[in-house]
Structure 1
Amino acid sequence: MKKMLFSFNDMASGDKASRVVEKSFSRKGSNVVQSDISTSVKRSSGHSYREMTLTFADSQTVVLRVKQTGDIFQVMLNKKALPIKNQDDHDAAIEEIVKGMNAGRTKFQNALARAKVRPPKGIRTTAPKMEVSLTEKRDALKVAIASVREEIAEIRAA
């Protein structure tokens, strides 16, 4: 009989199973910076499940969908389903997930770099006001420089 890693009813952030999964990923070279376990039970493909979301240092995310029996029935890597061969062996499954993360890291980082981030509607930028302010200062300095040059020219002429 296989020992289950997750206890469906007792799943919570910081529980023993979460810490074991985070340590396993760290041992494989992928550091988890944030983990979250959903409180609500979802249903898909005839399975009731809860989600454990792991965010890594390079901003990649892995969502583990855990069935009521305590095993993982689906893995989502960066919002895309990742097929796992070794579903019964958690260490081998984590190894597969890390390999998938490593294989797609460059593509993921390029997609992040291309993504345009717009500030929320409520936030206003001061760039237009700063431009007007700096233009006014520049014009005032030009006037001041011109008047000083005129005074120098008058002093030299006298």
Structure 2
Amino acid sequence: MAADLLFSFDDLSNKDKAVKQLEKHFKRAGANLVSVEIEPRIKRTSGVSYREISLTFSDSQVVKLRVKKPGDIFQVLLNKKVMPLRHQDDHPKAIGEIVQAMDRGRTAFQKRLAKAKVQLPKRMKTAAPRMEKRLEEKRDALKEAVEDARQQLAELTAA
């Protein structure tokens, strides 16, 4: 990416000047940034040591930037998928590409989120069985009341 965005690898934090610039560029591109999280651990893949900056947006999409030792970004992940960039040397254009990719994939991402089943913790029990029992009792009581009303009506019309 651009030389104007060099991150401090050893002292990478939310207060880093490059992180603030990154937030500003995403805001200008029209993306609603909700949170920025920086992984404190150094990871290693394919012989490259890096740290991750996770950017979470208002629609729950996540962009992870992998920052190398020299302070430049070597890989961008959008929703856990590696994303190639055309304009990797021009920072604002690269951010524009990321935002466009987020916009293009938003509906598919939302569908995947909607399909995902969330399992309740084992300790947590739902009130559904008890509620169902109460509703059945209420239904039966109403049926009895309706039957009583019909009998009274029949008695009054017969008399």
* Short-chain TM bin: 0.7 to 0.9
Which segment drifts farther, 148-157 or 67-76?
148-157
Q: Could you say which structure has the greater relative contact order, defined with CA pairs below 8 angstroms and 6 or more residues apart? A: 2
Output aligned runs, 1:122-133, within 5 Å. 122-133=123-134
Which segment drifts farther, 144-153 or 106-115?
144-153
Output aligned runs, 1:45-84, within 5 Å. 45-84=46-85
Unaligned stretches of 5+ in structure 2? Answer: none
Aligned partner letter, 2:101: G
Which residue does 1:118 correspond to in 2?
A: 119
Aligned partner letter, 1:51: E
Contact 1:6-1:17 within 8 A present in 2 as well: yes
Which residue does 2:98 correspond to in 1?
A: 97
Normalised TM-score (structure 2):
0.85
| 3-state DSSP of counterpart to 2:140 | helix
Contact 1:72-1:87 within 8 A present in 2 as well: no
| 3-state DSSP of counterpart to 2:35 | strand
CA distance in 2, matches of 1:63, 1:19: 16
Contact 1:51-1:65 within 8 A present in 2 as well: yes
Contact 1:37-1:52 within 8 A present in 2 as well: yes
| 3-state DSSP of counterpart to 2:105 | helix
Contact 1:61-1:78 within 8 A present in 2 as well: yes
Unaligned stretches of 5+ in structure 1? Answer: none
Change (3 A) 1:155 1:80: same
Could you list the per-position Cα deviations for residues 30-52 of structure 1 after superposition, in whole angstroms to 9, with x for gaps in the alignment? 11111100111111111111100
Contact 1:25-1:32 within 8 A present in 2 as well: yes
Q: CA deviation at 1:148?
A: 4.9
Q: CA deviation at 1:10?
A: 1.6
Could you list the per-position Cα deviations for residues 49-91 of structure 1 after superposition, in whole angstroms to 9, with x for gaps in the alignment? 1100011111111000001110001000010000123333322
Normalised TM-score (structure 1):
0.85
Which segment drifts farther, 140-149 or 101-110?
140-149
Could you list the per-position Cα deviations for residues 1-51 of structure 1 after superposition, in whole angstroms to 9, with x for gaps in the alignment? x44431111211243222211111110011111110011111111111110
